[in-house]
Structure 1
């Protein structure tokens, strides 16, 4: 049940009736007609912009349209009032029975309440994390992993067919550096002093790799030139790093559907095929780029390169795909990888990138637009930095990693649920402060605690109701007589529940899972407020002498718990039933 969508359908139906009756011109486009919560709750339960958006195409004053629509809407038993305000906004008030029906729908549908068919089964690929397989994931990867996984959960909840994908960056020079670093740990495992020179990875996490290499090769690789061992050690170390990354992701509650290798694109003809596809569209040419901004003429060496005409698809400049020496640029395999996704039949692509990839957005979108003939949209979400704090000071070092705080450091310190929720308390393109002390506080200033406390409070009320002899099964609560839920505070609580299906669709349309975390905090705040008001107003207490009234109030409480659990499910957070 989506009450906002239901009332919008009513508004559209009445507008169509007015067109059929000749009150409005026929053929008006109603796509922009919306029904939303009013900016001021005192104005009503819902508001529609119908008269404002139709006035110009209809050639009529907006108030005239609003007046005619208000008369028609008042014929529906759900509508208690339809008031025209200002130049033509139409504010609606619903009968209490409409709100009571919503509580019943939540209890009947359970956590399916709010699920949507918006995605219509379209196939969407969400690529996220994609960390270099050279070491443990750091705290920046944590945020990208949480955002990507929560987004995948959100889209699935809203009707998309979702594939989670990890792109293994194992085709560049960094994996050679990994091999050389692992080789030094191999020498160490054989009793020699490792030479962790500048440019190598210094973290202790490579010690087990060195030991595993010794177990496999003994001392047979010692004192040999790297031409004899580089490939084998690189593949061995990469595999061990990916096993560690998979374990770290699992600790965070993230499971990938597909792991794709950059290295697998080389020597298989896939890069060549992607570039040929662009060449066939006359989007590949040989040319010389202008010097980058800020470069002096004597500091710039013009050279002929193979270029992608990305400006034909919205980029600022054309981009090189092949260097003058014939080797591919970093961009070329990324083009091939996204071409592979297009060929796999995805209807939409989403990439979750680190903030340092901002310059990559336009060129990647241009490539996908070209290779899919504009059929497949690509949305790229940039993840801003996470600043860690502990004991009031910046928290920066991890001995195991060598230079940074790892994903496991964070999860081991505060748990996966706290980590996941907190990583979604800001929009992805805004920097986030993660304070190890504050995220464990039991206060309203800690949003994850506040939401979990609301769910625990729901379960506490249900336990007390059960002890009082009430039947608190969802089926029984859904059959309760709810007409006693008339207090403005109770109706306001139900209005917040009514926003959930609409919020899901808004968040899914914008690929913005943080909206779910924001909504849950607001819902929890409203529920705590309702509970607190019962301290002063006995009529708002959830257990009353009249058992039927208690049953109705408990039904509302349980409905709040259902929506909190549904929202936490999207965030990948386990609901807490009891605070300890």
Structure 2
């Protein structure tokens, strides 16, 4: 049940009637006709922009359209009032039985809020994709939470979702990792070592040094790189990926696929992708303009193999092969996305860190070119996270050496709190994460406030069960006509927005909207709860009055069900009770 979609269908049916009786001309598009909550709840339950949207193509006064539409809508048994406002907006109030059906739907329909929006289209969400050179840090944490919540949201909205991690194991940074592990290996053999600039000095590599010693003994001691670099590189990469998988598991994140960058080299995949672009006339030999701003001292004009990315929306063409014949870092990324397109996905989503902002247009251009514009790529950037504790910036992890790890955060506050708080801001907005405030038991802490609502419902249900039957099927059959107080109706109306909110969030790839909605729903619930302190008739449990209690418990059970569904999208387990 999607009440807003249902009322919109009724509005469109009334517009069709107006066309049929000659009030409106035929051939009008209703694609932009919406039914939404009014900005001011005092104006009604729902509002439609139909008259405003159709006035120009119909060559009619919008108020005249709105008045004719209102007359048709008043014949609908679900519409109590339909009033024209301003230049032609139409505000509607619905009959009470409509709101009762919302509660019943939430109680009995396991798919309440779920959507067929995605029509089972295949979507690949690539996220985290951190270099396998160490544990995940707090920046990766935000990307992991956002990507995972987005994947869950899209699945909830009817898409066929695949979650993928791209292992950056083909570049020079993995050689640096191998050299760093080798130093820890020598250290395990009792040697004094120093870590040159550019290596990884974190304590997390000490166990790898010991493990390598146990594996090869002293075979690599004081040997040149040619004897050990490749083997240690593979050994270290595998060990780091095991660490990263364990870190993600701590956060409740699992991937469907892990794709190795290394698999692109020596297999012809890069060559095939570039050849595909060449066949489309998008590869040429040329010299790029010098970079804008301060001229690098080592810059010199030289002929390279370039991709005509400007033909697909980029600012400048991009090199894919250097003058010496080696591939640029962009070439394997093109090949990887070519592989995504070839796997038959209908849409691609990449979740990158804030430092990848300059990479968005070229990647979109590549996918547009490779798919002939048929496969959209949406790149989501996650902004930085600033950590605080006791009002002070949180210091770096000694174990990591240079940064705060994902495990540092989860160990401090838990996975549920971490995930929820990471979604209390839009992905492209900076986020402050205060270890004290995210554990604070107050209205200002959305994690607590939403969980408190869920726990309060459970407490009331348990109390009511002492004298009334309170399973969901029984509650759905209760007489709900007594749920007429303004505070009760406010809760129901917020519940009715859940299916609509899911579709809005899924279309915009914005899982933070779910967190915002849950806070609003919890606020409405707590307001109703607090009203019961002053008005005993609004209390959820009416001792000795089974029917009234069942109606009120039905309402708050619907709240708990929706909160549970929303938290599930965020990857958060609801708190059954608060201590």
TM-score w.r.t. the length of structure 1 is 0.99
The alpha-carbon deviation at position 299 of structure 1 amounts to 6.3
1-structure distance, mates of 2:273, 2:294? 32
2-structure distance, mates of 1:300, 1:186? 39
The alpha-carbon deviation at position 513 of structure 1 amounts to 0.3
- Give the match for residue 454 of structure 2: 455
Contact preservation (8 Å) 1:184, 1:194 = yes
**Pairing partner for 2:533 from 532, 535, 541:** 535
Gaps of 5+ in 2: none
- Give the match for residue 47 of structure 1: 47
The alpha-carbon deviation at position 546 of structure 1 amounts to 2.9
The alpha-carbon deviation at position 297 of structure 1 amounts to 9.1
Contact preservation (8 Å) 1:18, 1:24 = yes
The alpha-carbon deviation at position 194 of structure 1 amounts to 2.3
* 1:63 is the counterpart of 2:63: yes
- Give the match for residue 324 of structure 1: 323
Deviates more, 1:101-110 or 1:39-48: 101-110
2-structure distance, mates of 1:292, 1:280? 29
- The DSSP-based 3-state class of the residue aligned with 2:13 is helix
- Give the match for residue 260 of structure 1: 259
**Pairing partner for 1:485 from 483, 486, 492:** 483
1-structure distance, mates of 2:108, 2:81? 28
* 1:72 is the counterpart of 2:72: yes
2-structure distance, mates of 1:454, 1:318? 54
2-structure distance, mates of 1:415, 1:550? 36
Ranges of 4+ aligned residues in structure 1 off by more than 6 Å? none
* 1:189 is the counterpart of 2:193: no
- The DSSP-based 3-state class of the residue aligned with 2:84 is strand
Contact preservation (8 Å) 1:124, 1:163 = yes
- The DSSP-based 3-state class of the residue aligned with 2:258 is strand
2-structure distance, mates of 1:48, 1:351? 35
Cα deviations by residue, 1:88-108 (Å, 9 ceiling, x for unpaired): 100000011000011011100
- Give the match for residue 94 of structure 1: 94
1-structure distance, mates of 2:389, 2:315? 42
- Give the match for residue 578 of structure 1: 577
1:101-500 map, 5 Å: 101-110=101-110, 112-296=111-295, 300-467=299-466, 469-500=467-498
Cα deviations by residue, 1:267-324 (Å, 9 ceiling, x for unpaired): 0000000000000111000001111111349763111011000000000000000011
1:4-15 map, 5 Å: 4-15=4-15
1-structure distance, mates of 2:14, 2:145? 43
Contact preservation (8 Å) 1:45, 1:94 = yes
2-structure distance, mates of 1:172, 1:326? 16
1-structure distance, mates of 2:72, 2:573? 46
2-structure distance, mates of 1:397, 1:102? 49
Cα deviations by residue, 1:131-188 (Å, 9 ceiling, x for unpaired): 0000000000000000000000000000000000000000110000000000001111
The alpha-carbon deviation at position 396 of structure 1 amounts to 2.7
1-structure distance, mates of 2:459, 2:539? 14
2-structure distance, mates of 1:143, 1:104? 37
- The DSSP-based 3-state class of the residue aligned with 2:302 is coil
The alpha-carbon deviation at position 21 of structure 1 amounts to 1.4
Cα deviations by residue, 1:179-232 (Å, 9 ceiling, x for unpaired): 000000111111112231221100000011111111110001111100110000
1-structure distance, mates of 2:296, 2:112? 63
The alpha-carbon deviation at position 380 of structure 1 amounts to 0.3
Deviates more, 1:55-64 or 1:533-542: 533-542
The alpha-carbon deviation at position 540 of structure 1 amounts to 1.1
- The DSSP-based 3-state class of the residue aligned with 1:534 is helix
Cα deviations by residue, 1:447-475 (Å, 9 ceiling, x for unpaired): 100000000001011011112x1111000
- The DSSP-based 3-state class of the residue aligned with 1:535 is helix
Contact preservation (8 Å) 1:291, 1:297 = no
Alpha-carbon distance change, 179 to 418 in structure 1, aligned in 2, over 3 angstroms:
same
2-structure distance, mates of 1:537, 1:496? 22
- The DSSP-based 3-state class of the residue aligned with 2:93 is strand
- The DSSP-based 3-state class of the residue aligned with 1:483 is coil
The alpha-carbon deviation at position 27 of structure 1 amounts to 1.2
- The DSSP-based 3-state class of the residue aligned with 1:573 is coil
Contact preservation (8 Å) 1:115, 1:159 = yes
**Pairing partner for 2:502 from 501, 504, 507:** 504
- Give the match for residue 566 of structure 1: 565
2-structure distance, mates of 1:236, 1:96? 66
The alpha-carbon deviation at position 428 of structure 1 amounts to 0.3
2-structure distance, mates of 1:102, 1:87? 31
* RMSD, aligned α-carbons: 0.9
1-structure distance, mates of 2:294, 2:84? 61
Cα deviations by residue, 1:310-346 (Å, 9 ceiling, x for unpaired): 0000000000000111111110000000000000000
- The DSSP-based 3-state class of the residue aligned with 1:162 is strand
1-structure distance, mates of 2:551, 2:389? 45
Cα deviations by residue, 1:26-61 (Å, 9 ceiling, x for unpaired): 111010000000000000000000000000011110
